[in-house]
Amino acid sequence: MRVGLDVGGSKTEGVAVASDGSIIARVRRNTGWGPDAVVETILGVVADLGAQLGADASGAASLDLGDTVASALGVQVRVDNDVRAAALGAAVLRGGSGSIAYLNLGTGIAAGIVTGPEAGHGARRQAEPGTVWRGARGAAGEVGHISVDPAGPVCRCGQRGCIEALAGGAALAERWGRPGTHPVGDIFEAAEAGDPLALTLRGELARGVAAAVRILVLTTDVETVILGGGLTALGARLHDDVRRELEAVAEASVFLRSLALAERVELLAPGSPAAAFGAALAGAPEEGVLIHG
């Protein structure tokens, strides 16, 4: 059995995965505020998973998150990047053997890449469902900070026209500037009512996501791009906008049309525990894995 946790700013999700890869327990708790409360949340989620499985987990804890939790639980713990973990989880939950990119549309934008057996040749063995592409210095998948428009809005990273400045939740909320707990949902509704700023922002969201999809496919040629993260709560409206934008750009280009990009984009099923599941898969058996953003 392996346990994976996705420790987010508001929610912490945990799953227990059997040796055959099936999810046998799943728990969700609000994440406490501050280091001690975060550790307490994690221990609580692990205890809840244990209770669901009739097993026992106890201990109490103060932040090197990994070490603290490891000593409290008495198991090995590895802390990893949430988007990469979610990419692995999304690839396995989706099934199939093809390569995927998981494009996380949240406050910020980043991707995780999981290669399928077709990606390489040579000395490669592919006994596992997929291999997470890590890169040399941990920057793999940072497509949010690629500029696609030198005249675009300034990004929090300092560049102009980054994909994240066009399509990141925080950037959209800031440019929208009106009160509300779900600013991107509000933008979609106001756009439907004809609000000019909302129409612009909704268009830029689609433009930014479509640019990320093209960059991912034209660089790594993954078979499928799976959209996930908070913004995918917009569901079919977001998916349709992105598909339309990909088709509109491909209209002008025989080369892009040949890649059939609009057909290669999928939405992660809402509520899917992709990050926690991927964290469990990434660990060695009997090693708990905690992930952070």
Name the residue among 161, 159, 160, 163 with its Cα closest to residue 143. 163
Residue 170 binds a second copy, judged by CB under 8 A:
no
φ/ψ of 10, rounded to 5, equals -110, -35
**What is the footprint of a second copy within residues 2-31 (CB under 8 A)?**
none
For residue 169, give the amino acid letter.
Answer: G
Nearest residue (CB) to a second copy, 71 versus 219: 219
**What is the footprint of a second copy within residues 63-122 (CB under 8 A)?**
98-99, 111, 113, 115-116, 118-122
Question: Residue 219 CB, nearest distance to a second copy (Å)?
Answer: 4
Question: Residue 268 CB, nearest distance to a second copy (Å)?
Answer: 19
Residue 126 binds a second copy, judged by CB under 8 A:
yes
Nearest residue (CB) to a second copy, 14 versus 141: 141
Provide the CB-side half-sphere exposure for 75 (13 A, CA). Answer: 22
Please answer whether residues 172 and 201 qualify as being in contact, where contact means their C-beta atoms are separated by less than 8 angstroms: yes
Please answer whether residues 49 and 38 qualify as being in contact, where contact means their C-beta atoms are separated by less than 8 angstroms: no
User: Which residues have a Cβ under 8 Å from the Cβ of 149 and sit 6 or more positions away?
Assistant: 160, 161, 166
Could you say which of 96, 180, 253, 263 contacts a second copy (CB under 8 A)?
253
Could you say which of 96, 135, 180, 235 contacts a second copy (CB under 8 A)?
135
CB under 8 A: which stretch of 13-21, 193-201, 253-261, 285-293 binds a second copy?
253-261
Nearest residue (CB) to a second copy, 119 versus 234: 119
Residue 220 binds a second copy, judged by CB under 8 A:
yes
- Helix, strand or coil, per DSSP, at residue 224: strand
* Alpha carbon distance, N-terminus to C-terminus of the chain: 24
Question: Residue 145 CB, nearest distance to a second copy (Å)?
Answer: 6
Could you say which of 41, 68, 131, 232 contacts a second copy (CB under 8 A)?
131
Q: Quick one: tokens of 133?
A: 């592409």
CA atoms of 67 and 113, how far apart (whole Å): 28
CB under 8 A: which stretch of 51-59, 64-72, 135-143, 267-275 binds a second copy?
135-143
Nearest residue (CB) to a second copy, 120 versus 180: 120
User: Which residues have a Cβ under 8 Å from the Cβ of 147 and sit 6 or more positions away?
Assistant: 155, 159, 160, 161, 162
Identify the sign of the CA torsion 201, 203, 205, 208. Answer: negative
Could you say which of 5, 91, 190, 211 contacts a second copy (CB under 8 A)?
211
Could you say which of 47, 77, 133, 186 contacts a second copy (CB under 8 A)?
133
Could you say which of 60, 193, 236, 254 contacts a second copy (CB under 8 A)?
254
Residue 209 binds a second copy, judged by CB under 8 A:
no
**What is the footprint of a second copy within residues 171-190 (CB under 8 A)?**
none
- 178, 182, 185, 189 alpha-carbon torsion, rounded to 10°: -50
Q: What is the CA radius of gyration of the chain?
A: 20
Binding footprint of a second copy on the chain (CB under 8 A): 98-99, 111, 113, 115-116, 118-128, 130-143, 145-151, 155, 157-160, 211, 214-223, 249, 252-256, 259
